[in-house]
Chains A and B, each alone.
Chain A
């Protein structure tokens, strides 16, 4: 790569919507407003950093068989919150496509009360669906 040559960052609409619908509500419920802004700015910086040397991102092992070479940058805010910025590189167009903000750790710092366990509609202990986003769909 020619030194100084930058990649254009492109984000898919669904990745942005997931970020807003999944990540922000979690952050708002578990961190102070000030901390939410900090985390948001740090995530933005990580995405921005992909303009230079995007190949430093690790290959995503779960998508190793996909024809696209999926990579990620890990962002960790605390023991309670961690996500993968998922992307692939289009060498011809000199673009980095950000395709997902995948939460790998979103533990509630404020645990639900026993009332919510008793009130579970399926009579099972409370399951935080933030840990299982697919079940929320």
Chain B
């Protein structure tokens, strides 16, 4: 089963669940997987030196705001 089909299959199965506790367990599992994947990505960044200071974070956000015409 390809990835897109698997996603739709999962969504359809979840839509049929009515038990809140079961939905909460599924949600926890998704959150955990998501957090782990995102952490892995960040740890790779650290290994590769793709890190920024707090000041750079602020500047990057200002650039983003300006680009969107918000500041």
Contacts and interface: CB of A to CB of B under 8 A. Distances in A.
A70 B28 CA distance: 17
A97 interface: yes
Interface residues of A, number: 39
B38 A47 contact: no
Chain B interface bracket (under 10, 10 to 19, 20 to 34, 35 or more): 20 to 34
B42 A99 contact: yes
B39 A10 contact: no
B41 to A, nearest CB: 5
Nearest to A131: B27
Counting chain B CB atoms within 10 Å of each CB, the highest count among A20, A60, A125 belongs to: A20
A112 interface: no
Interface in B6-37: 7-8, 11-12, 15, 28, 30-37
A43 to B, nearest CB: 10
A14 B15 contact: no
27 contacts: A9-B54, A10-B51, A11-B54, A11-B57, A12-B51, A13-B50, A14-B50, A16-B52, A16-B60, A16-B61, A18-B38, A19-B61, A20-B60, A28-B68, A44-B58, A62-B28, A62-B35, A63-B32, A66-B36, A66-B39, A97-B51, A99-B39, A99-B42, A124-B15, A132-B30, A134-B30, A135-B7
Given A10-B46, A11-B52, A33-B70, 9 more contacts: A9-B54, A11-B53, A13-B45, A13-B51, A13-B52, A14-B41, A62-B31, A122-B8, A124-B15
Interface of A: 8-16, 18-20, 24, 28, 33, 36, 40, 44, 47-48, 60, 62-63, 66, 68, 70, 86, 97, 99-100, 102, 122, 124-125, 127, 132-135
Closest 7 CB pairs of A and B: A99-B42, A12-B45, A12-B42, A13-B50, A9-B54, A134-B34, A62-B32
